[in-house]
Amino acid sequence: MRPTAILEAALYVSDIAEAERFYGETLGLERIARVEGRHVFFRCGEAVLLLFDPTATEVPPASDARLPVPPHGTRGPGHLCFAATAGEIERWRQHLAAAGIAVEADFEWPQGGRSIYFRDPFGNSLEFAEPRIWGLT
């Protein structure tokens, strides 16, 4: 047996409202759920991006919780890569610059494919990359 896809990925943020603004407005993701002070979730293609405040998610659920999700959370910057074509990467570079967001790295991988790296307001490392950097189409 082996998993066929990643359904969701999580990053941790310290301000849910700011995360909602950045990921919803700057990156244009569709918000699908929000709980004040705990999380905001976005649809991204066939997957879901979960943004949690770790101070809330590290707390174990009540014994009678309707959704007994185990505690989780982390501190420090994480990483997430969005798939994009070469043309989309160039448009994202321009969009980020117009929004005042610095691109930390922009390069071609030795095996082919381009990536650009930048940060969200919480220090998480974000990337747009051509799927061919991993041999994907």
- Range(s) of the domain holding residue 114: 76-137
* Any domain includes 85: yes
User: How would you classify residue 104: left for phi > 0, otherwise alpha for psi between -120 and 50, otherwise beta?
Assistant: alpha
Closest CA to 47 of 8, 84, 3: 8
pLDDT tens-place string over residues 23-59:
999 999 999 999 999 999 999 999 999 999 999 999 9
Count of the separate structural domains present in the chain: 2
* Any domain includes 89: yes
Does residue 64 register a pLDDT over 90? no
Q: Are 59 and 105 in contact (CB under 8 A)?
A: no
* Any domain includes 120: yes
Mean pLDDT, residues 51-69: 90
Q: Do 32 and 87 belong to one domain?
A: no
Least confidently predicted of 57-61, 63-67, 71-75, 84-88: 63-67
Which pair of tokens denotes residue 48?
């879901």
Q: pLDDT at position 67, please?
A: 82
* Any domain includes 70: no
Mean pLDDT estimate for the chain: 95
Q: From residue 72, give the alpha-carbon distance in Å to each of 6, 15, 75, 121, 137.
A: 18, 17, 11, 21, 33
Q: Do 29 and 86 belong to one domain?
A: no
Instruction: Tell me how far apart the alpha carbons of residues 40 and 46 are, in angstroms, rounded to a whole number.
Output: 17
Question: CA 28, 31, 32, 37 torsion: positive or negative?
Answer: positive
